[in-house]
A and B are shown apart, each in its own frame.
Chain A
Amino acid sequence: MKIYDVAIIGAGVTGTSIARELARYKLDVALLEKEEEPAFGVSKSNSGIIHPGIQNSPGSIKGRLCVQGNLLIRSLSKELNIDFKESGELIVAFNEEETRELLRLKKEAEILGVPGLKIVDKTWLRQNEPNLNTGVVTALYAPTAGIISPYRLVYGLAENAVRNGVEIFTETKVEDIIYSKPNFEIFSSKGLFRSMYVINSAGLFADEISKMLGVDYFRIRPRKGEEFILDKKKENMVHHLILPLPSKTSKGVLIIKTSDGNPMIGPTAEDIEDKEDLSTSDSGFNKVLFSARRLIPSINDKDIIAYFAGLRPVAGDDFIIKHEDKAPGFINVAGIQSPGLTASPAIALLVTNILKDNDLVLKKKFIFHAHRKKTIHLFQSPLLKAKKLIRKDPSYGDIVCRCEMVSAKEIRDAVKRGAKTMDGVKFRTRAQAGRCHGSFCTARIMKILAEERKIPITSVTKRGKGSEVIKEGRFCFPAPKA
């Protein structure tokens, strides 16, 4: 039986970043994921902000990794051909006292090495953010803040890791791990895996994985955040990320211009117990709307087309990234909440170094395919480009999702690249993510999924087993052509 050099548990942005980094070396790497697809846990509800590194205490691991990650994400996004927009962020102050607080933040961030910070005044704000509340007197401007699609980052990392030899096992839930000299034995819902090193990037369940090896000094507490997405019509409502002054537990409710153009408002921050509770609430909605209107008073709740909740895996104030001497060969990468996405490329480097320090031999592969082919999104293409695409492949002109302008070609490509579920298609292409919420395109997407995956249409799921979209086929098998 194959013994892997490294097994990584959890295919979120942390796990896939580590997998992709380790793929540079002559190693056998297995990435185990309990869900049907990568990014289906904590990462799927990430807001996609690439933080500049403000608001972390100067001595923290996450502060250092955030600043480093903000730099690294630029070259990484180029290699993986994922759009990264350096939009810049504004932390706003409503009075002099808050302005003093901004100066304090600026000073702290400069110690961490955040570049380009400056305080901007009312005139600047009026010119650059005309929809901002006129009560805002100053803002801390951080030019290096940016935005990326969290799903496309994870899928880009996962695809590129696989291209370079990493094996990803989905629907593979780790049930127990023991150390049985000279390697770990990982018992999963898909059978036994053996590995010399184990990396725990299991997000909300990192404490449970860690406990399996007797390392139980931390607990993951889910902190819920509800987010609300506005119609793409409101694309130009803001030009920067807009943040209020942070509170102790969170960065507050922000206005985010997502990488797809839709503005998003949120999140809430509520400590809860249940790691599966992704429900949204009226109180969350009211709170977010109230707080967001304090920044941009013109926000209309009729423009909200979607909402969701995500859970941040909180383990104290800082990230836990360390080799556990109690279980040699076992590395915890836990409590990766905000700014985890930004820090992820830096986390991957840190973990690689920890492995090296613990005697894993790292030899560079002769060939490492750093680059990934760009995925095409019609909605991001100017009309002239769209015309060329359609001439090259007619099915780019065959629109399946009318609200977000997604063609049959893009959906087929997404399935070929690994989408297995309706959510997987949505995260990769934005089909069903628009104002009609899939009312018009669900049937067509189901048919494409069934056709490409060669499964009956009744087996098509929203996000894995148990979430089949329909209960029964009535008249015809196989499904009519998509």
Chain B
Amino acid sequence: MAAGLSAHENGVKDILLIERDRYLGGILNQCIHTGFGINYFKEALTGPEYAGRFIEKVKNVPDIEVSLKSIAVKLTSDRTVTFLKPGRLETVKAKAVIMATGCREKTREMVHIQGSRPAGIFSAGGAQKLINIEGLLPGKEVVIVGSGDIGLIMARRFVMEGAKVSAIIEIQKETRGLLRNMVQCVEDFEIPVYFNHKISRIFGDSRVEKVSVIKVDDNLNEIPGSLFEINCDTILMSVGLIPENELIDMAGVRIEGTRTSVPGIFVCGNSFKIYDIVDAVTEDSFLAGKLAANYITNQ
């Protein structure tokens, strides 16, 4: 939305915003905690509020056409985008394309945790969606792997929903998340955090039953004799984010320097690189919108 608004402010008159979900705002909609917009709006908003302000702005710009429930499936280096939506498959050619596809969470598979593969293993963001959007509580006794911001925020969220968060297990010696989240989500709720520890195995046939945890040294080597177990029915993975730019890869376009190897194709926000806060994502997207507008003007 920010990229579209910025492109419009810089003179672009015909903008199509392709969104795969049924509403604008992306992941902000499931982030019902506050802290969004402190830099940009100078106040602490919730995720949906922050998204809401941009949705209002977009609504007021008739030059921005919004296509919801639309998933882009193909991008080519001549700036052609193909997308699907219920009832339609469309191909559009643009003077400039901005990719603002966000990121996804690393999975248990990517950090190679040994053991079984029962029900009850979620990404922190996946669990956030189940609770905040769907009204479903994934589990009652939770162990969180990794101390990324979403994991920390979900630790508090689970406690508030009446579940027990038995531990946050972080392989590094300090948190990967923001200090404010450590204080407000973990320390204030007295949730045990194990730094320099990792999950060594997941147990459970049908549903998660327990995990074994082992201490590691600063070089991540396991320390013999330090193994212990924690009972739980749920494991949340919060071990990092990956920019989602499969379409860019498929188009043979490389992300470089500020944007991409192909003139007229731009990347912004978390699909460009992982940012800590939404205000920084917004700023980056404003820049991408401006770059795209300048590119079109100079053609």
- Taking Cβ atoms with an 8 Å cutoff, the residues of A that contact B are 233, 276, 278-282, 285, 302, 304-308, 383, 386-387, 390-391, 394-395, 397-399, 402, 405, 422, 435-440, 442-443, 447, 457-458, 461-476, 479-480
Contacts and interface: CB of A to CB of B under 8 A. Distances in A.
Given A276-B205, A463-B206, A386 B134 contact: no
Contacts of B202: 279
Nearest to A388: B89
Contact of B114 (A280, A308, A397, A440): A280
Contacts of B129: 443
B137 A471 contact: yes
B69 A398 contact: yes
A461 B118 CA distance: 10
Nearest to A233: B249
A308 B117 contact: yes
Given A280-B115, A462-B119, A398 B140 contact: no
A163 B121 CA distance: 37
Contact of A462 (B82, B118, B123, B133): B118
Closest A-B pairs by Cβ, 4 of them: A394-B87, A466-B206, A462-B119, A475-B135
A475 B132 CA distance: 10
A397 B89 contact: yes
A399 B119 contact: no
Interface centre among A233, A397, A447, A475 (most CB of B within 10 A): A397
B119 A468 contact: yes
B188 interface: no
Contacts of B61: none
B146 interface: no
Interface stretch (B101-109, B174-182, B267-275, B286-294): B101-109
Interface centre among A304, A390, A437 (most CB of B within 10 A): A437
B89 A461 contact: no
A282 to B, nearest CB: 6
Given A308-B117, A473-B135, A443 B20 contact: no
B107 A386 contact: no
A447 to B, nearest CB: 8
A473 B136 contact: yes
Contacts of B109: 304-307, 437
A439 B123 contact: yes
Given A282-B112, A390-B88, A468-B119, 18 more contacts: A280-B115, A281-B114, A383-B89, A387-B89, A397-B84, A397-B85, A397-B88, A398-B86, A435-B104, A436-B104, A436-B107, A439-B125, A439-B126, A443-B126, A457-B136, A469-B119, A472-B136, A473-B135
Contact of B84 (A282, A390, A465): A390
B137 A391 contact: no
Nearest to B203: A279
Contacts of A307: 109
A278 to B, nearest CB: 6
A111 B287 CA distance: 70
B131 interface: yes
Interface string B49-88: 0000000000000000000010101100000001011111
B87 A440 contact: no
A440 B115 contact: no
Contacts, number: 140
A222 to B, nearest CB: 15
22 contacts: A279-B114, A282-B112, A282-B114, A305-B107, A306-B109, A383-B89, A387-B89, A397-B87, A402-B71, A435-B107, A439-B123, A439-B126, A440-B126, A443-B134, A461-B119, A462-B119, A467-B206, A467-B207, A469-B120, A471-B137, A472-B137, A476-B135
A304 B110 CA distance: 7
A476 B133 CA distance: 11
B233 A471 contact: yes
Interface residues of B, number: 52
A464 B207 CA distance: 10
A391 B206 contact: no
A464 B112 CA distance: 25
A458 B140 CA distance: 14
Contacts of A443: 126, 129-130, 133-134, 136
B85 A470 contact: no
B228 to A, nearest CB: 19
Contacts of B73: 383, 405
B268 to A, nearest CB: 19
A400 to B, nearest CB: 10
B148 interface: no
B134 A480 contact: yes
A474 B127 CA distance: 13
Contacts of A394: 86-88
A465 B118 CA distance: 12
B138 A470 contact: yes
B261 interface: no
B258 interface: no
A436 B79 CA distance: 26
B74 A383 contact: yes
Interface in B180-210: 201-202, 205-207
A474 B131 contact: yes
B139 interface: yes
A437 B119 contact: no
Contacts of B20: 399, 402
A19 B135 CA distance: 43
Given A280-B114, A402-B20, A474 B87 contact: no
B95 to A, nearest CB: 23
Contacts of B34: none
A278 B122 CA distance: 19
B256 interface: no
A438 B135 contact: no
B246 interface: yes
B89 to A, nearest CB: 4
